[in-house]
Structure 1
Amino acid sequence: MPNNSLDPIVAALQPIESIEQAASLTERPFSRQLLANLTQIEPAIISGWLKFMTDDWPLEGFPEWFALKLDELGFIGNHDTPLSVSRFVASLFRNHAYKSVLDPACGTGGLLSAVSEQVGTHAALYGQEINAEAWAWACLRMLVGGQNNAQLQLGRGLIEQSFEREGFRRNYDLVLTNPPFGMHIDYEAISRSALFSEIQPEGMAPRLSSETAFVRQAFNSLSSDGIAAIIVPNGFLFRGGIDRKLRENLAARDAVKAVIGMPARLFVPGTTIETAILILSRNKTDSERGQILFIDARGLGQRDGSRIELDAKAAGKIQSTYEHWTAEDGFSEIIAVEKLDSDNFSFSPAHYINPAPRTELIDAGFRHTRMLELDQRYAILKEEYETLRSKLRETN
């Protein structure tokens, strides 16, 4: 038991170093990464951690508590996956046995932890993360959850293939990832990786978006029977240029199993960007071949303040539609690959599904939050306008 009279950081350091030593973690992810940034972490989380270390904190239920606390963390330049979303994505693959699972942008390890809960510890988990603080929290998440089947590496998932070895490259049974959005990636840097040799649309741009790069990497990392689920911004589903070429390439290979348009505001406050889950497969069933299942779930979920929570009812509806491969008016459609929009090769569910008429009640709290957001946006635009107007006056 640590000495309560010690400095809080020193008090935290003692049990963390003991954990690292007991787990033979030579890289010391917690004491080297987390403790260097304690002042940037939510104070309530740190106080909760110290309380656990210094008081008689009940061990039963602690992994769940810890996962919820990680859900509250924020990382600069990185958005993590909410717990409800991680568990939903993992649940889509609950009825299958996987030997190896990869997340090349694992964040705090939410997706890997969730899939381990679904498929058990017989699957080897591999995760890579560029953000040192997030990676350290992921290591701690796995220890707390007793998920000793995970190997996590700190590094750039698009360039540094930490788990690459003879006969193992392109041999993951399942790839799940929620990569960073909108970052510009230098194509020359990532093209040196053999993972990018298989899907290679002509006329590559010198730079491409991070989500595009991760979609290509996910598919190229799959085994002959592998399947991948990538959370992408909606823009990837219909943008032109290299994104269109990649969509056409994937469609030509009959590699797209399903596209699920997700509810808006799932990732608030990290981002308000609307997202979808792109599911790729190297070995579709006979009934799936030549077809793509589109699901438009944008209207599902429950509001929790300014955020949308993917509740059990919404998750169950999407999951049932995906597992049973069914079409439902206003919610899902099964489209033959040859009937895709040949001009743009759009993967957007809204492009193929006519929304069913519905009446939506907006609660007062959510309406008030949206009004405040709009007021703040208006104030920023007004200030920019006045600044620009003043500069124009000065030039006259």
Structure 2
Amino acid sequence: MARLNFAELLLVLVASQQLLAAVIWLLAVRLRVAPRVPSLHWVAASAWVAVCAGLPVLMAPDPWYGFGLPALLLPGALILTRLGLEILFRQPRRDGEHLFVILLALGGAALGFLLGAGERWWHVQASLLSAASLLRGAACVHGAARRELGLRGARLVCWPLVLMALLFGGRGLGAWLQPEHFAQAMTADSPSNIALLMAYLSMSVLFHVMLSLTVALRLVGKLQQLSRLDPLTGLSNRRGLEERWVSLRHRLPLAALAVDADHFKQVNDRHGHAVGDQALQHLAELMRRSVRSGDGVVRLGGEEFLLLLAHTDPEQARQRAEQLRALVVGSPLRLDEGELALTVSIGVAVASSVGPPGPLISAADAALYEAKRSGRNRVVLGALQEARS
């Protein structure tokens, strides 16, 4: 075997780097530390790029297998990368766009054969299609990434895609304008090839680091979200209450409804804790249905809940509480052996000024205590002086 020149050594290094990335993503899937479907797309994309980098070295000096075929295949690897990101951020499939890129690659290859085009043609085609795929992928996931990870997280996801697109776009433009310098075989030991391969190696590392950080940030975000949710009902818990309060406290008047399931201990004693859990889930669903978008529903613990209703004056709050109480009475929990009737007591308090949540919740709790003391299955509106916060 002939001794490899520096460009060929760099191609071997690119192929080895991509195979290592594929193995790492595959291990991450097996260890369940990365999402399965997106990661498998990145495994396939990395292996695909490794093939594209290895073919020029293995098949040189054949111009088709050494350059034409890798150039034809390269956009497919970037389509797989984009698909993985779209699946990760739960974006709709855009198979029509992917098919269009594939048809452009095949059509360009056929036209190149018919015209007897040289390596300049393959450079320009592969570079422009790759750049377009990367830019389109960044555009498709940017909005979802910003919603999930914030502006900085979205930049972390999208900027490596944009930088790599600029690399491919610059290479395509150079091949078109100065083919003698930029439209050479990838195995040519020229300054432009060496610079391109070294830039690709660096950006490829950056790209896979970006993917890893994106997966890690989403995992951290999910853990933070789970820490603010009650695992049984899916409602916000006491920790999540702080977040809801920040978003609602300026939407005055702000009503707090403290809700408690009546005689809930008897439900657990007579029917068991499994039915008790079903009852709590049933009540949580009824409360979700009773609030508007933007209002808050919190499970404070046990059988006690809290509803935060924005722009709700005392009379409106009392009416909303009565509607919820009637909804619970009219919606018994359906069990295999029949129906389980449930009732709730509700204490209502209303804040007319901005302040901490403690005084408002305490006023609602005091009204709830009065509702339970006076017979349960009723609504009590707390005094206005108790509701000021």
User: How would you bin the TM-score normalised by the shorter chain?
Assistant: under 0.3
Structure having the higher helix fraction is: 2
Q: TM-score, normalised by structure 2?
A: 0.23
Q: TM-score, normalised by structure 1?
A: 0.22
Structure having the higher strand fraction is: 1
Quick check: which has more Rg, 1 or 2? 2
